[in-house]
Amino acid sequence: MRSFKIQHLLVVIVIAANLFSCVPQKKVTTYKQNLAIVDSQLLTHSNDLKKLDKKRKVKQDQNEMDDTASYRLQKFINTTNKEIDTLIKRNEILIGDVAVNRNDWNRLQKALTFSKKKEDLINDKVSLITELINRNTVIRLDQDVIFDPGQYNLSKEVAKTIGKTFEPVTKEIDYFINKYPDFPLSLVITAKGYADGSTIVDGTSLHNKLVERMKLSGRKPLTNEDLNKELSNARAESVIDLLKTFTVGKAKDGSTINNILYLYQGMGEKLPDPKINNYSIEDPRRRIVLLFWSIFPD
């Protein structure tokens, strides 16, 4: 009699355990389907990122985006893609499970909630990257206008004249800070100076100044090409120095953008626009400073 009661008790315990661990299969199927939908959305984001990365590379090759901003955007794209891959791989295990016990059911619920939140965030990241690539701006400054012949320092009069050129930078910062408050953003401003292939005559004031600059930096002038590169570098530096005097990086509420990086680079006699194939030695289209300003996520 006692043995029968014990067996009966064991049966009750087993049945209760089975009931406790039982998971409604309709709900399991629904959650798996919803998780699969999220994964599909993530794959779409991944494909969009690949297209954006190609567009980024094209803009860099066409000198419409500076190397620093391009590198930062590429890094952000790669990091976002890794997030997507990790999510999808983790979800595929849950979606593919045949038997779902109570623990797996809890994992499935949490995975769906977590994946939905992450997908929303990744969607915002893709939107941000899209805008950054589409809106990155290059300002073309004509050296013949902003620099006197044989000079590389900007006069105060010229500085006042071209000051308004930089106003779009501040407006762009406001736009991105207000639209994407969840992302810490930085700003990189790069000036690339270009020179034509004309000769800088030995003994002239410009020649002597450039030689002195190169001595101070530890470089020795070897050719006219070296001097033209130093001239383009000096003019790019002057533009950056001017830009630093303007108030940039401020949002409407007075807060500042996370970081502002100022760079300048002398490109010398390199051709500024790869799409133009008929430059001449003294072509005025070569005597420019390209000012790149790009916002990117940290």
pLDDT averaged per 10 residues in sequence order, the chain, 298 residues: 52 45 72 92 97 96 90 94 94 75 81 94 94 85 88 81 72 80 85 94 92 82 89 94 69 58 93 93 94 83
Supply the DSSP string of 198-212, one letter for each residue: ----TTSHHHHHHHH
pTM above 0.85, yes or no: no
* 28 in Cβ contact with 106 (< 8 Å): no
pLDDT in the model for residue 28: 83
pLDDT in the model for residue 174: 77
* 28 in Cβ contact with 105 (< 8 Å): yes
Measured distance CA(103)–CA(38) in Å, rounded: 21
pLDDT in the model for residue 99: 59
pLDDT in the model for residue 17: 46
**Considering just the CA atoms, what is the radius of gyration of the chain in Å?**
30
Nearest CA to 135 among 145, 127, 124, 143?
A: 127
Structure tokens belonging to residue 163 = 């000051």
- Beta bridge partner(s), residue 259: 186
247-272: b (≥16 Cβ within 10 Å) or e: ebbebeeeeebeebeebbbbbbbbeb
